[in-house]
Structure 1
Amino acid sequence: MKKTVKIIGILLISVFMLWFLLFLFPLSSKSSHAFFEDKEGPLVIAHRGGKAIAPENTLAAFRNAAELDVDILEYDVHITADGHLVVIHDDTVDRTTNGSGRVNEMTLEEIKALDAGYQFKDAKGDFVFRNSGVKIPTVQEVFSEFNDKKHLIEIKDSNDPVMYGDLIDEMWNEIQKFDMKDKVLIASFDHDINLRFQDVSNGEVAIGAGEEETRQFVTMHKAFLNALYRPKAAAFQLPTEQEGFNLADWKLIRGANSRGMHVYYWTINEEDMMEKLIDLGADGIMTDNPRLLLDVLSNN
């Protein structure tokens, strides 16, 4: 019995020493990819261009965000039936336009005929962008007009899976065409999409963690094992809470940073939570209202 207790004690001490050494000597500093920049306070990320201020994922929203001088434009990408990359969140046009139908079953000409400002309401409830010429933009249009900005692009996992190969190839082509390799962070909830893009781009573009990768890190962190974690991406996009876990945690941020990863939180529209994440040391805050976040930062 004493021998068994002794063996268990030795094993526990060995595990503790291994954990302590790994914690003492972190894997690396945060990713040095050119996309990431050091800045006092978190990066301001305009979610869908800042959809509280202008129609989401449109040039109108991105122009507003650019005028506010946000750090990163965040948006979503689908592919049309004739192979064009368009900036829209949903896999249908129903919610944000005056039309209906699945994006990947429509041609670019059909997509461009729609009014992408039709459903937007301002704070007073008025449809101020209806019939004002707001269209669903292509990735090409966004890259062309906002070539000097950083872009966080989510490849939607609600695209038709048989079209992923074409979508990923076309995204890589556009990034090369507009020389955006250092200005783009590609992300998808689907880990396989991230891996496929990383392979196609030869690792030249920064990649965000998918849902599977994020869950793995959070689980290891909560088990005090994040020192054993080996990252497959450069950044996490996290909610502040998920599945009962508090993710707005300075220890989690520090743990991710010690593994070489940046931590961006979504989608933060309340002033109190913005202030909390600033104090915690978040690397970036994604918001529908970048004007509010900039005001909070200026007063912090």
Structure 2
Amino acid sequence: MTNGFFADKNRPLVLGHRGVPLAHQENTLAGFRKAIELGVDGIELDVFKTRDDRIVVFHDEQTERLTGVAGSIAEMTWDEVSQLRIQRRIDRGDGTVVEYPSEERIPLLEEVLDECGDSLLINIEMKAYAPNWSRRHTGTEVARVIKASGKQDNVISTSFDFFMLRKLEKALPGIHSGFAYDGGMLEGMGDWLDTLLNALPELDTELSRRAGNQNALNLLNLLLEANAIGRFVHSTVVDAEHTLIDSDTVQKFHQRNMLVGAYTLFPLDTRYVDNPDVDHEQEAHRLAALGVDWIETDDPERLLALLALLT
């Protein structure tokens, strides 16, 4: 069978970012069921490995924002995690509070694949804020869960951690996976790099049309398109913040027989948005015209309607 992400299509696939967060709490079965109800192509979800090697669907390293209980999810056991509940009132991360119909529990990845894996395409993001050798076996355990589910043709896996991706590929050869790129990922490299890039004359590129010195963005675009990390982890897909994608990015990856995903349109949490002034309707049109293979969004119903007008 052909993996569903690679099937022929006349528009980008629409993936609900963490489900359908306008209707239900992020990364919950209720949100994933809503995606099925809306006819969304798929979902993006986040996973962590617990202390006892279970793969749970959850976004934050710390549990307090979503559950009201302090803790580090990677240091907890599944028994401890299973007793938590995602609150009805949630701070989206930027101080905006939203209220949902009911509390929700934290699911295991295997539960999501069992219930939704035949109805939705799923991008499993192995959550990482930086590469961490000690957490590399998250990839091993995610591979185990995918293999046991029999849903390999409906999933891909992405991560900001190439150690996890290497272990995933080793444990499950043939899985479609890839490195993820974020517009702010150079910020952890130190002030010296930021100072250097801003001191140099700004490169004249498509990405330089925005106000201010965009050399950091230009460097990230160069790293993205060079695909050095992708070659290292045997990537077949790449996931990139939409602001990093210029007019030839998709073409370069398609020439390598790789897919390109973009995130996140119509975002609800705007803390880390690289360009807050972008018109997301126009951006949806731009990305579709460039031929991106999927787009992740916090408002999948709206994006589906927009893309329907283009086909």
Tell me, yes or no, whether TM beats 0.5: yes
Q: 1:299/1:121 Cα in 2 relative to 1: closer, same or farther (>3 Å)?
A: farther
Provide runs of 4+ in structure 1 moved above 6 Å.
none
Amino acid at match of 2:157: I
Which whole-Å CA distance do the structure 2 matches of 1:160 and 1:98 have between them? 27
Bigger-Rg structure (1/2):
1
Partner of 1:257: 254
Q: Choose from 278, 282, 300 the match for 1:290.
A: 300
Amino acid at match of 2:288: I
Which whole-Å CA distance do the structure 2 matches of 1:99 and 1:221 have between them? 38
Judge conservation of contact 2:136–2:163 (CA < 8 Å) in 1: no
**Aligned residue runs from structure 1 range 158-197, under 5 A:** 158=129, 161-165=133-137, 167-197=138-168
Shift of 1:264: 0.8
SS at match of 1:109: helix
Whether 2:290 is the aligned partner of 1:276: answer no
Which whole-Å CA distance do the structure 2 matches of 1:252 and 1:163 have between them? 30
Amino acid at match of 1:263: V
Partner of 1:106: 76
Q: Choose from 48, 51, 56 the match for 1:86.
A: 56
SS at match of 1:263: strand
Q: Structure 2-normalised TM-score?
A: 0.72
Amino acid at match of 2:47: V
Which whole-Å CA distance do the structure 2 matches of 1:194 and 1:126 have between them? 34
Q: 1:58/1:265 Cα in 2 relative to 1: closer, same or farther (>3 Å)?
A: same
Unaligned runs of 5+ in 1: 1-31, 242-246
Q: Supply the RMSD in Å over aligned alpha carbons.
A: 2.9
Partner of 1:12: none
Amino acid at match of 1:277: L
Partner of 2:213: none
Q: 1:267/1:66 Cα in 2 relative to 1: closer, same or farther (>3 Å)?
A: same
Which whole-Å CA distance do the structure 1 matches of 2:50 and 2:231 have between them? 36
Partner of 1:240: 242
Whether 2:131 is the aligned partner of 1:128: answer no
1:264-299 per-position Cα deviation (integer Å, ceiling 9, x unaligned)? 110111322112212222211110110110110122
Judge conservation of contact 1:194–1:210 (CA < 8 Å) in 2: no
Q: Percent identity?
A: 30
Q: Structure 1-normalised TM-score?
A: 0.75
Partner of 2:19: 49
Q: 1:125/1:210 Cα in 2 relative to 1: closer, same or farther (>3 Å)?
A: closer
Amino acid at match of 1:296: L
Unaligned runs of 5+ in 2: 186-217, 267-279
SS at match of 1:99: coil
Which whole-Å CA distance do the structure 2 matches of 1:220 and 1:91 have between them? 27
1:166-189 per-position Cα deviation (integer Å, ceiling 9, x unaligned)? x33322221121102212211111
Judge conservation of contact 1:104–1:160 (CA < 8 Å) in 2: no
The total of aligned residue pairs comes to: 253
